[in-house]
Amino acid sequence: MELLEQTILNLTEKEIKSFRLSMQGVSTLEKHRQLFDYLISDREWKDGELCKKIYGDQDTGKYYSLRKRLYERLTHFLMDELNDSSTEGDGYIHGLVTLSSTMLRRRCYDVAYDHLCQARRMGELSHQYELLQIIYRNILAHADVFNEDLDTLVTLSEENLRNLTITTRLDNEFARIKSKLKEFKKMGKHFETHEAVREVLNSQNFIQKKYYNNPAFVLRLMELVRSIVMTTKEYHLLKPFLLRSYAQLERHDAFRGSHQSLRSDFQYLIAHIHYRTRDNAKAIGMLQELKKSLTLEVRTKHPLLAKAISLEASVMFYTGNITESIQLIQRFQKQFHPMVSHREWLNMELNLSVFTFFTNDL
């Protein structure tokens, strides 16, 4: 799938409407809007078909030039949307860092410091180690004009650098595992997932207790292992590892301060692994806990909510509650449709089609 189609597939309904509105009434963007509307439809287009519909001929040069311009416009639109949206943490932090850098160059120190402090608070809450390193560096570089405790800031910066180094090492090692797994699949050989993961943890000294009391590290590790077992379908290998790690974090009261929000991510992973191993009662129980925290007023736009609803509907379907699974998705779509990505929306529609088929109501 081309980059333009991939981008469109992952838009929310709200973003689709806003992007259309940004082109409305602009004569020079009429063909951009036509192409966007064609691509957002559920129809599959044959080679050359869209070119003919828009230009009335097979001049592919004009068509591919239009595609390029639409992709560039959509990219800039999304950058602006993400920077303006408080629900997309990464984009907002990026925007604050960029703005603070501009203010620093203009020697507008008070405004720059205000933006850096806001970005720092958000970065610490979401464990954005790469962005935090830039933020700490900018504050330290202007420590003479900012009212900061230098020793405290240096300590935080050094701790963040250690976290960044650890997660980078973890990402690098799992990238090697994935590459090796791909080679084994091509050759039709069995890949020893358990041994590969254990070798990484031992060789990189990731078995120390301090790591497993850090929710951010454990979550990243679980996501990486899960990305592998989703390929090998060996969910039974991840389940005990995930449950033990989560229990240890709870015993040590690790979900405090900036780590508090990570409990929801663990709850979704656990619910999903219960579902994949057909432990449906436990999956439903964990999903109820997850939804309870996600449907609090301040988190109704959390991206995990749509995934949790889809997962709960699937569990209901496989336990024979087909009508209830259909109603669950339909209620959610009615209430939260604008904030669901186009991909997740299509996934829900696909599930509805399958569920409805089994009720013989087509």
Q: What DSSP character marks residue 214?
A: -
Residues 215-250 pLDDT 10s: 888 888 898 888 888 888 888 888 998 999 999 999
pLDDT value of position 338: 58
Question: How far does Cα 206 stand from its chain's mean position?
Answer: 25
Q: How many structural domains compose the chain? A: 4
pLDDT-derived band at 295 (thresholds 50, 70, 90) equals low
pTM: 0.68
pLDDT value of position 267: 93
Q: Which two tokens stand for residue 201?
A: 């943890």
Contact 347, 310 (CB under 8 A): yes
Does any domain span residue 155? no
Q: Which two tokens stand for residue 16?
A: 């689709």
Encoded amino acid at 153, one letter = L
For the chain, the residue count is: 362
Domain end residue (candidates: 196, 225, 255): 255
Residues 17-62 pLDDT 10s: 889 888 887 788 889 999 999 988 878 888 788 888 888 877 788 8
Dihedral in degrees, nearest 10, Cα atoms 227, 233, 238, 239 = 130
The dihedral through the CA atoms of 13, 14, 15, 17 has a sign that is positive
**89-98, 165-174, 182-191: which has the minimum mean pLDDT?**
89-98
> 273 and 342: one domain?
yes
Contact 119, 100 (CB under 8 A): yes
Residues 57-110 pLDDT 10s: 777 888 889 999 999 888 878 777 665 554 445 667 887 888 888 888 878 888
Residue range of the domain that includes 41: 3-84
* Strands (E) located in the chain: none
Exposed e or buried b for every residue in 69-89, given b needs 16+ CB within 10 A? Answer: ebbebbeebbeebbbeeeebb
Domain end residue (candidates: 122, 148, 174): 148
Look at residue 296 and tell me whether its pLDDT is greater than 50: yes
Domain end residue (candidates: 255, 287, 305): 255
> 124 and 165: one domain?
no
**Best-predicted range by mean pLDDT (115-129, 149-163, 205-219):** 149-163
Distance of alpha carbon 300 from alpha carbon 294, whole angstroms: 6
**Best-predicted range by mean pLDDT (52-56, 263-267, 303-307):** 263-267
Distance of alpha carbon 325 from alpha carbon 229, whole angstroms: 27
